[in-house]
Structure 1
Amino acid sequence: MTDDPGGDGGMLSWDESVFRDEHVFEIDYVPETFKHREGQMQSLTYALRPAVRGSRPLNVMVRGPPGTGKTTAIQKLFSEVTAQTREVQTIRVNCQVNATRYSVFSRLFEGSFDYEPPSSGISFKKLFGQIAEKLVEEDRVLVVALDDVNYLFYENEASDTLYSLLRAHEEHPGAKIGVIVVSSDPTLDVIDELDSRVQSVFRPEDVYFPVYDQPEIVTILRERVKRGFHDDVVAEETLEHVASLTADSGDLRVGIDLLRRAGLNAEMRASRVVEMQDVEKAYETSKYINLSRSLSGLSENERALLEVIATHDGKQAGDVYEAFHEQTDLGYTRYSEIVNKLDQLGLIDADYADIEGRGRSRSLSLSYEKEAILDRLE
């Protein structure tokens, strides 16, 4: 065994990498070329055009499964608007992280003033008032993107948040705010789930992002490979295999994460090329990227319930509650709310069934393999 793996022509030396630019495979990377979403970008541009002229833009509802380019489209659009005019302020709020009305407006305050609001002692009304007054004072239009708005629905905060944004001009004459809501939950009917007071004023343009098909996935991933890896690191056959696994998942982020992990696996072997074995090994982790993302946003009590369900898989809701209550001391109402959220997130299946002697009851079971969830909860 030699000390220097670089002695072999096919082996990397210690200071070499298969990556040209590893950031290309990060989740927050915005590609220079954004393929197969021209129609969606045109619709979004059409909705925001009035803002560039100083008027309130059209509101927009962006829908589509995870990993279909929705967030990238918003980032590209906001970047273009910001480059074109200073009269429009764009702020994207990640609702998985900011899942209450107050935290959404705290983020809007931070985006407006470039510093965070006081951590305590400021009412929502005052917070909102300062944001609106600054808009009027500077005569700017604010465009807010509520990304992953489904998380506001899971916390029953969506109607209040949207009502405040859409009615801003009534309390603060001259305030011009447009709203883009972005939902990654195909089962959520955004309009139907809103209060009637919000439905009456929220009549958005509808922009749908379908799942990418395999030829589209190949062209997108090929562009990432070209920018992210050195030449000849990923063979066409390997790329096609990654695209096939990505198409099966329906989530482009799986393929992007898979390429990065496969590259790291090749480096572990000190290889200059990504082989099929690197892809297969990486897929065992990358296929759960959506699960990992969902789990990362859970509170301590939500994680605790998921662990309890994992050890009581398929049991009735009442039995699960007893174990959960023993562990957390939370009441049944909060328990039921958390069950509904985990169900909406696709982490569990909460199915009603007729139980002899007990009427209708819900049985709770995991939507993923038990080990996959428990490993990621640690």
Structure 2
Amino acid sequence: MSLANHFELLGRDGDARTGLLTTAHGTVRTPAFMPVGTQGAMKGLQWQDVRDAGADIVLGNTYHLMLRPGAERIHELGGLQKFTRWGGPMLTDSGGFQVMSLAQLRKVKEQGVTFRSHIDGTAIELTPERAIEVQRLLGSDIAMQLDECVRLPAERGDIERAMQLSLRWAERSRRAFEGAPAANMLFGIVQGGDIPELRRTSACGLTGIGFHGYAIGGLAVGEPQATMLAMIEEAAPWLPMERPRYLMGVGTPHDLLEAVARGIDMFDCVMPTRNGRHGMAFTRFGQINLRNARHADDPRPLDEESSWPAARDYSRAYLHHLVRSGETLGAMLLSGINIAYYQSLMQAMRSAIAGGVFQEFRERTREGWARGDIASR
């Protein structure tokens, strides 16, 4: 049975794409970057800040929310959008990656994965069916299938086993999703590590099952950027042109620029807020480490042309002082600056694709980052 398509492809420039993804809680402009609200909150920011920065959609972490405060509790309180007061489009991951990276004493079997909570050691079983149930209780607009993610480098046998298991779990996830509200979406996840033929097999298998959209997972887990980009090039041509493509857990501004050039529509990453909490700012001049002593007497703002007030109005000297003093305000300001920069980069890419000048924009942006890197040495 075919699934309704909520994605409208508006334009292409080479392999880069721009479009609109319609959800029950609003429209998402693509390419889109989803800030990560791990536990139903954006670290250091209010939801209005995230909205003002230009984000159309955010991500919630199923693993964390199912453990605390619990999916059933959130459902009783009106769902994740109402509970958090975000109110806009929201995607939830399946919890599989966090089980693999955070949980204690995990064991993967055909039925699912059993693990002990990293919070209190409680024994929990997460199956494809339960992952879908939890996400439906949360009320997210886009749910993800449960998959097994293997950290790279890994042996081919381990990668192939996890990929085939993820395909079988994809079929079960699709069946468990039947009966969901028509406006809700389910995405499948391409696995296959750094092995081209396994990526192609996974992409073709998922397409045969049929999903509202398709994610590429298991990247940015230890492999070089060149490998990540090569795996995108292997998988993307086998995914339906008319459906959205989501690269999970990625990444730096350079990662986003290069992935969009290869046909990716959606991204998420904790990097903007995590790096902000550690004194790092993302700008059109590249990444700036405000912990460095060179900024102590610098009266310049991070970017006098930025539309985001904190990037335009505060001096580098003041931001340096906040970071070195451990003031919470420093982490808050830099997290907001970073989220705003990521959103401005996505908006600029959307405009460049629509105008047929993406390649020129790509080169100009990379040159700006390179000049900033040289100037900061």
TM-score, scaled to structure 1: 0.29
Query: Where is the strand percentage greater, Structure 1 or Structure 2?
Result: 2
Higher Cα radius of gyration: 1
Query: Where is the helix percentage greater, Structure 1 or Structure 2?
Result: 1
